[in-house]
Structure 1
Amino acid sequence: MNENTAQQPTLVKPVFLHHEKVMEGLTMIFGSSRNSVKISDPDVLEMLRIIPISPDSISLLSGIMGTGKSTYAQAFTQVFFGKDSLGMIKCDPDKTPHETLYGTDVASETSYNYDSKDKLIGTREMFVFDPQALAFVTKPVKFANEISRSGKSVQDALLGLFQEGEIEYRGKIFKTDRPYIVLLDQNPLHLQGMGARELEPALVDRIDVSISIPTTSIFDDLAIQQNKESETELKPILDYAIMKEVFADVRKVRKPLALKFMTLVMSQSLRVCKYRKDISSPIFIESIDCTRCEYKNDICSAIEAPTGHRHIESILKFAGSRAWLDRREEISLEDIIAVMPFALSHRLKLKSKAYMDSESTYSWIKEKALPFIVKQLNIYQEMLNEYIQTFNGSKNGLLSISMKCGGNLLYQQMVNRLGEQLLTQGNKEMDALERSILDMKEPERAELERVLAGIQDLKITTMVSSLTLKELNDIESQTEMLNRYELEEKVSRDPKGERDKKDLTYQKINPLTKNIKSLIQRHDKIEKVIKQALTNTKFEIQLSETDFMKKVFPKTVKYLDKKDILEFGQNLKNMIAQTIGNVKLQIVRIDDTITLSLESDDRKDLSETRRMLGL
């Protein structure tokens, strides 16, 4: 997180294009038309309403036969995109990528052979094979039925299509329409046999949300039977061209930096251990016994392997769609919490003990993890406030973050990042200061005094420079768990005046205090240079004797000893050393060159003397 004060680009707000039509379409899909879908679980229903407006999304629907997975895919395609926008494949363990994703057009061509007199002597028939992509590859809505029954090669091919937006077959590149919506479905009963298999981990991580479609209730079944007798058919409300406009508008929903941060820290709660930095390490899994840990009842003890980072993108993407449906210009914490179980349930790997109290990963996240995480939200908000305060120049914010570092791995990650950003921002401040000094060719005293006073306006530089030695030592001791080994070169001065001695050391250093000390040293150096310029000032100029006698000499007559001036002008002496007020003046003639120098402890006096002499 960079507290850069640079001007931010103007935000483009969503205008909720075609919102009324979208809401009308959703009412039809989950209403009383003949092919409407009936879902009793309100959370699942909400996610199914979000999917059609979530661009470039991949969703996995799990449920037994008859729960409406295929009906849902066909219904929202017909209402929002048009029936011809659906590309569907039915997966089978025996099918290859060629059989699943491609087809081949076969055409025959007849060639005619002639002799030298253009007389036909024979014909030859040739067959041309032209590979073509099936609708699943090219259409904007892609539905893979029974994805868990597909082979590894098919899943690898799908991964390439979803990742790159195109796929190659026999030298031809086939591109998909973008944005697209991908629906994968599976029957959990098939995972127990019938050629089904677990999905490839890389494909699983690309899936944005996983939704378990519940079996229909008595009232759902009754509504379905009534719908079948309805004379109302689903009809197209929008088309793909209009949906592109909707997708573009959904992407404009603002995702504030503070809420992105909260999403990240909530995610970290499911990825870290109180004592180890990475719970995905094989050494961790083999060597740590959570039952002996003081935090054995915390959510970290139930996690066998953490997720990657893509679920964060999925959460923010679907949170934006949820906010758009509610006609809100930016996402809320409620959006994030609502989407999180669906974005994590297929990615998070739990230990077997977690399933003793929860029937699935989804229910564990919803019933165990989220209540714990929500309780920590005040801590996360305080963490964010302290981080922002630090970049606003608050020393107390930095000291507070450092003090809490020892018992909280999230704070440790923040401090690691904080040290790097303090150095970057502090150096930017001092780079700007140095440039302003270099732009002054011959600065007046008042200008240098303004620069010296301006150092106090540098937030980061002033804050770190105000740290006392005790406070620096406290920060170092409180963040010692962040220490790392680094190779350093130390230079020691030789008292005999011979060559300096260079020694290489490989030792533990604290990255935070190292960066802070680096900023302090640079600050002190710049401040020292400016103060020296204010207290020890000298001016020197060389002129030809002709120019000196013509331009400068007449003005010196007013302020210097008349006898010395006369003798210098008659070449009876080659040096004058006198004072004008508090300024020492020296004029030296060497051959035909005159060197005039002025020196004073006060830059103001020096500037005034130069003005009087026309220099």
Structure 2
Amino acid sequence: MTTTSALPGSHPAESPTLDPHDLPAALERLRSVADDLAVAVDRVIQGKDETVRLALTVLFSEGHLLVEDVPGVGKTMLAKSLARAIDGSVRRIQFTPDLLPSDVTGSSIWNQERATFEFRPGAVFANVVIGDEINRASPKTQSALLECMEEGQVTVDGTTWQLDRPFIVFATQNPVEMDGTYPLPEAQRDRFAARISMGYPSVDAELTMLSEHGVTDPLDAVTPVVDVAEVRALSRAVRSVHAAEALKQYVVDLVRRTRSHPDLRLGASPRAALHLLRTARSRAALEGRDHVLPDDVQALAVPVVAHRLLLTADALLAGRDGADVVTDVLRTTALPSPR
């Protein structure tokens, strides 16, 4: 029989949404906090405003973020600077081929004095988990994150342990064709709300990096902007942002069209639709709106949906990728009609 437990200090369950009368003030506070977080991260990652805003969108939608790019472009620095600005508990997992699933989730250790097994929490027991180079671990170890990311809990030896909220995984990975990497399984990729690519910095940003990062550690300049209790409260405000039925139908239409696209052998899952609506609510809230627009969905469709798609061999040979397919679907799907 599986039992459910909580570690000392974990946060009790709250009402999932805010009172409508409290929403305007909460959205105003959310916009202010997001601006402050963006400024804090910009001290470390210069010239990546759009990337930082997308990371904040995923944060307040209670999703997980996959940052993919070549080594040395600031993937881990982005995750560490955001984690420091949130002022929550932070754990970093350096994924390597010899990492074990128990290193991630925790394990039961025999206590000789008490003659009983005691649970020793693993690295996922934190508000912010930085999974560095996640695709360098074996698929077995990668799968240790599946339950954590989807259900916010860990099951070890028949006991289920609840993770504290907020719980966010910022995972980085190098392109899968590089040496010493394993491609992420489809089920793993599907649990990330969005995937972003850092890209190389501009000339000015790279010159600034050479001038500043060579003298001091830029993370030392990052101070907490918000605490985890307020992140939790602001995430409740995001869940309260209104999405019309016609807009929800638009999200479903977009996702369903990927399942019949001729360039795909695997389309987007129902979880993709859920993540697309959640992040669209977050984007609307970060812009100070209490309702979602089709523009929010369109702006997030590629980072939220593209990484979940599996292309056919012919499409790959033709140089197509998931972003191309999502762009096709956006172009051919009718917008929701205003009422």
TM range (shorter): 0.7 to 0.9
Q: Could you say which structure has the greater relative contact order, defined with CA pairs below 8 angstroms and 6 or more residues apart?
A: 2
Q: Which residue of 2 aligns with 1:52?
A: 59
Cα distance in 2 between the residues matched to 1:193 and 1:127: 46
- Residue 138 of structure 1 aligns to a residue in which SS? coil
Higher mean alpha-carbon deviation, 161-170 vs 328-337, is at: 161-170
Q: Which residue of 2 aligns with 1:21?
A: 33
Q: Does 1:248 align with 2:236?
A: yes
Q: Which residue of 1 aligns with 2:275?
A: 314
Q: Which residue of 1 aligns with 2:11?
A: none
Q: Which residue of 2 aligns with 1:257?
A: 245
Deviation at 1:172, TM superposition (A): 4.3
Cα distance in 1 between the residues matched to 2:56 and 2:305: 19
Deviation at 1:329, TM superposition (A): 0.5
Deviation at 1:128, TM superposition (A): 6.5
Q: What letter is aligned with 1:268?
A: R
Given the alignment, which residue of 153, 162, 187 partners 1:202?
187
Sort the Cα spacing of 1:173 and 1:308 in 2 relative to 1 into closer, same or farther, 3 A: closer
Given the alignment, which residue of 346, 351, 357 partners 2:307?
346
Given the alignment, which residue of 135, 150, 168 partners 1:181?
168
Deviation at 1:45, TM superposition (A): 4.1
Given the alignment, which residue of 251, 265, 270 partners 2:258?
270
Cα distance in 1 between the residues matched to 2:51 and 2:37: 18
Deviation at 1:86, TM superposition (A): 1.1
Q: Which residue of 2 aligns with 1:139?
A: 126
Q: Which residue of 2 aligns with 1:602?
A: none
- Residue 89 of structure 1 aligns to a residue in which SS? strand
TM-score of the superposed pair, with normalisation by structure 1 = 0.47
- Residue 143 of structure 2 aligns to a residue in which SS? helix
Superposition pairs of residues 119-518 of structure 1, within 5 angstroms: 130-134=118-122, 136-188=123-175, 191-194=177-180, 196-228=181-213, 229=215, 233-272=221-260, 300-355=261-316, 358=319, 360-366=321-327, 368-370=328-330, 372-373=331-332, 376-377=333-334, 381=337
Cα distance in 2 between the residues matched to 1:100 and 1:144: 10
Structure 1 ranges of 4+ moved more than 6 A: none
Contact 1:69–1:185 (CA<8 Å) still a contact in 2? yes
Query: Share of identical aligned residues, percent?
Result: 22
Sort the Cα spacing of 1:217 and 1:360 in 2 relative to 1 into closer, same or farther, 3 A: farther
Q: What letter is aligned with 2:64?
A: I
Q: What letter is aligned with 2:140?
A: S
Contact 2:67–2:196 (CA<8 Å) still a contact in 1? yes
Cα distance in 2 between the residues matched to 1:247 and 1:89: 25
Q: Does 1:75 align with 2:81?
A: yes
Deviation at 1:71, TM superposition (A): 0.9
> Deviation per CA, 1:390-436, whole angstroms, max 9, x where unpaired?
xxxxxxxxxxxxxxxxxxxxxxxxxxxxxxxxxxxxxxxxxxxxxxx
Cα distance in 2 between the residues matched to 1:339 and 1:132: 38
Which blocks of at least 5 consecutive residues in structure 1 are unaligned? 1-9, 110-125, 273-299, 386-615
Contact 1:358–1:364 (CA<8 Å) still a contact in 2? no
Deviation at 1:257, TM superposition (A): 0.8
Deviation at 1:192, TM superposition (A): 3.4
> Deviation per CA, 1:188-210, whole angstroms, max 9, x where unpaired?
1x54331x212222222222111
Cα distance in 2 between the residues matched to 1:357 and 1:156: 32
Deviation at 1:79, TM superposition (A): 0.9
- Residue 262 of structure 2 aligns to a residue in which SS? helix
Deviation at 1:321, TM superposition (A): 0.8
Q: Which residue of 1 aligns with 2:7?
A: none
Sort the Cα spacing of 1:353 and 1:218 in 2 relative to 1 into closer, same or farther, 3 A: farther
Sort the Cα spacing of 1:193 and 1:304 in 2 relative to 1 into closer, same or farther, 3 A: same
Contact 2:135–2:183 (CA<8 Å) still a contact in 1? yes
CA RMSD after TM alignment: 2.8
Cα distance in 2 between the residues matched to 1:38 and 1:54: 24
Which blocks of at least 5 consecutive residues in structure 2 are unaligned? 1-17
TM-score of the superposed pair, with normalisation by structure 2 = 0.82
Superposition pairs of residues 526-545 of structure 1, within 5 angstroms: none
Contact 1:141–1:182 (CA<8 Å) still a contact in 2? yes
Q: Which residue of 1 aligns with 2:105?
A: 101
Sort the Cα spacing of 1:358 and 1:219 in 2 relative to 1 into closer, same or farther, 3 A: farther
Cα distance in 2 between the residues matched to 1:247 and 1:212: 24
Deviation at 1:318, TM superposition (A): 0.6
Which structure: larger Rg?
A: 1
Deviation at 1:127, TM superposition (A): 7.8
Cα distance in 2 between the residues matched to 1:360 and 1:72: 25
Cα distance in 2 between the residues matched to 1:317 and 1:225: 38
Cα distance in 2 between the residues matched to 1:17 and 1:246: 10
Deviation at 1:75, TM superposition (A): 0.7
Q: Which residue of 2 aligns with 1:37?
A: 45
Sort the Cα spacing of 1:39 and 1:312 in 2 relative to 1 into closer, same or farther, 3 A: farther
Deviation at 1:215, TM superposition (A): 2.3
- Residue 154 of structure 2 aligns to a residue in which SS? strand
Deviation at 1:176, TM superposition (A): 0.6
Sort the Cα spacing of 1:361 and 1:43 in 2 relative to 1 into closer, same or farther, 3 A: farther
Sort the Cα spacing of 1:266 and 1:68 in 2 relative to 1 into closer, same or farther, 3 A: same
Sort the Cα spacing of 1:23 and 1:213 in 2 relative to 1 into closer, same or farther, 3 A: same
Contact 1:304–1:349 (CA<8 Å) still a contact in 2? yes
Contact 1:148–1:191 (CA<8 Å) still a contact in 2? no
- Aligned pairs, how many? 315
Q: What letter is aligned with 1:183?
A: F
Q: Which residue of 2 aligns with 1:88?
A: 92
Contact 2:55–2:65 (CA<8 Å) still a contact in 1? no
